[in-house]
A and B are shown apart, each in its own frame.
Chain A
């Protein structure tokens, strides 16, 4: 087990290095001169002399070869220094950290809603496959996967905020502001999860040990709870881990729809304002968070299923 964790950690270091390299390179293929951009921010558009531009170039190391620039930049990043926003002038790290709570809140509640919908629905569907309930669940999940989440969000605003006047349209703050965004994001993820949980359960129910349990006279309920559910849970854990991808992407869109001041909104605003340091910082931050949680999921998964620990560690 320790061996497995060590191997995964080593891989993570390599991956994060790659992530940093790609993020760095992306920002250096930006049309236009990087130093010019920084100088424009510092002195105003076209409002700087050649000397001042030269000073900026030296400052950010633009006069050095690309690999030196990367090392210089990585050095700053490792110390938590992601540069300064072109727009607000504040440190990017501070900008991001200020936005984390709003995103974390949304992500947690959405995930909770996903679990609350997907588990009961997936289990009921798998117990009575092709029953009317299963059919309804499957049809709604098909539609749920197809509905764009930004549209669903707007529809919910239209019904619950504008027409019924029950909930706030946008913004953040109390629990009421969290309801519509979490339902929007959570139900979309539930649509995928329900199908996966159902499929995973149905697969387990076809296994020999289920037939054995049935043949020794156990009731269907006991077979289901004690044998099927437990074994189906392992793939489900990974599935929920996979949902993390949707979750992070979803917060970007949902925060924009509901004007929630989270990291996702920050990244979209940064792109629109061409605020490169903030964009770069957000991308790096989200990729780092994503990799770390994935690592945790993988490790807990290996903890649950010994076959993975000894399977050479390949995904």
Chain B
């Protein structure tokens, strides 16, 4: 009984979340990295020394200099500027796809879990079918159909990504539906929409936030991978995966073109994963200190 009340009242223990985030050094590193990346993305026009798509063939493949701190690519474009603008694209795409998937998935999961019946049955069967495709194969099928491009890649990722959110939210909703505070809200005659929005939604928000934190690096990796295959971001977009692919041609002469974007992708994904691990531990105290699983 006591526990139920506790869960009901402190549904979002912000101070505790922050406290354990700071205590954990890895989490701190992840958090700081995410903030730095976000700042780089936001301030790109002021930080980048050059226009990321401006070509200067006279300077093509030049080594680092005062003018071009990290040198230039085969088109004579400033590598540093392209890396900086790449943060914009990766973060924007990650947040957009993650946010859309989270929004759609939460809504569907909430409705399916709360009403059950046909909606729920449809969701579960659709889940079964979509899960029969290996993730990347499904994304490739959608991108292959709609045609290569960043926008289509995001659509493909959302078309698959919402499933995870829907399943988690559905599960939590199912168990909350029978809880005392929902039953009493119903006894008070509140509308279904109000119960879902005011009473259940705040309680599923924790898992959704954790899932979203992991969905962002997933998306960033997937977009980089598809761009690497030439199916995501198209030239001259300064996207890290696409830059990596363009740089591999000059692996012998100027390997930094291939190495630098890879470092950026790895750091970004690592930062979000660390933050996600910490958020999960913080929002789910039962897991705290236990096995450091993924």
Task: Answer yes or no: do A and B interact.
Answer: yes
Query: A244 in the interface, Cβ–Cβ < 8 Å?
Result: yes
User: Quick check: A252 and B291 within 8 Å, CB to CB?
Assistant: no
User: Quick check: A283 and B128 within 8 Å, CB to CB?
Assistant: no
Min CB gap A124→B, angstroms: 15
Query: A109 in the interface, Cβ–Cβ < 8 Å?
Result: no
User: Quick check: A31 and B147 within 8 Å, CB to CB?
Assistant: yes
1/0 contact trace for B116-139 toward A, CB 8 Å?
Answer: 000000000110111011111110
Contact of B224 among A11, A148, A192, A286 (CB under 8 A): A148
Interchain CA distance A270-B230 in the complex, whole Å: 12
Identify which of B126, B145, B146, B290 gathers the most chain A CB atoms within 10 Å of its CB. Answer: B145
Q: Return chain B residues, CB-CB under 8 Å to A252.
A: 136-137, 140, 229
1/0 contact trace for B244-281 toward A, CB 8 Å?
Answer: 10001001100100110110011101100110000000
User: Quick check: B251 and A157 within 8 Å, CB to CB?
Assistant: yes
Query: A220 in the interface, Cβ–Cβ < 8 Å?
Result: no
Q: Which residue of A lies closest to B127 (CB)?
A: A315
User: Quick check: B225 and A158 within 8 Å, CB to CB?
Assistant: no
Interchain CA distance A149-B229 in the complex, whole Å: 12
Taking CB atoms and an 8 Å cut-off, the chain B residues in 213-252 that contact chain A are 217, 221, 224-225, 228-231, 241, 244, 248, 251-252
Min CB gap A284→B, angstroms: 9
Interchain CA distance A194-B224 in the complex, whole Å: 25
Q: Return chain B residues, CB-CB under 8 Å to A267.
A: 137, 140, 144
User: Quick check: B141 and A145 within 8 Å, CB to CB?
Assistant: no
Min CB gap B114→A, angstroms: 19
User: Quick check: A287 and B134 within 8 Å, CB to CB?
Assistant: yes
User: Quick check: B273 and A245 within 8 Å, CB to CB?
Assistant: no
1/0 contact trace for A40-61 toward B, CB 8 Å?
Answer: 0000000000000000000000
Query: A202 in the interface, Cβ–Cβ < 8 Å?
Result: yes
Q: Chain B interface mostly helix, strand, loop or mixed?
A: helix
Interchain CA distance A22-B137 in the complex, whole Å: 13
Query: B292 in the interface, Cβ–Cβ < 8 Å?
Result: yes
Decide yes or no: A18 and B273 within 8 Å by CB, A26-B142, A145-B294, A267-B140 being known contacts.
no
User: Quick check: B134 and A195 within 8 Å, CB to CB?
Assistant: no
Query: B143 in the interface, Cβ–Cβ < 8 Å?
Result: yes
Q: Which residue of B lies closest to A247 (CB)?
A: B134
User: Quick check: A158 and B141 within 8 Å, CB to CB?
Assistant: no
- Chain A: residues with Cβ within 8 Å of the partner, total of 58
User: Quick check: B258 and A158 within 8 Å, CB to CB?
Assistant: yes
1/0 contact trace for A142-174 toward B, CB 8 Å?
Answer: 110111111100110110001000000000000
User: Quick check: A271 and B224 within 8 Å, CB to CB?
Assistant: no
Q: Return chain A residues, CB-CB under 8 Å to B146.
A: 29, 31
Query: A203 in the interface, Cβ–Cβ < 8 Å?
Result: yes
Min CB gap A294→B, angstroms: 8
Q: Return chain A residues, CB-CB under 8 Å to B294.
A: 145, 192, 195-196, 199
User: Quick check: B251 and A154 within 8 Å, CB to CB?
Assistant: yes
User: Quick check: A253 and B134 within 8 Å, CB to CB?
Assistant: no
User: Quick check: A162 and B252 within 8 Å, CB to CB?
Assistant: yes
Min CB gap B231→A, angstroms: 6
Min CB gap B170→A, angstroms: 13
Point out residues on A near B: beta carbons under 8 Å: 11, 14-16, 18-19, 22-23, 26-27, 29-31, 138, 142-143, 145-151, 154-155, 157-158, 162, 192, 195-196, 198-200, 202-203, 206, 244-245, 248-249, 252-253, 256, 267-268, 270-272, 276, 279, 282-283, 286-287, 290-291, 294
Would you mind naming 10 contact pairs between A and B with Cβ atoms under 8 Å apart?
A: A146-B266, A148-B262, A148-B265, A154-B258, A195-B292, A199-B294, A202-B291, A272-B230, A283-B133, A286-B133
For the complex of A and B, the 5 pairs showing the least CB-CB separation, nearest first, are: A249-B136, A199-B293, A18-B129, A199-B291, A151-B262
Give 11 A-B pairs besides A142-B26, A148-B241, A290-B134 with Cβ atoms closer than 8 angstroms. A15-B129, A29-B145, A142-B274, A148-B228, A148-B266, A158-B251, A192-B294, A199-B294, A203-B291, A279-B144, A290-B133
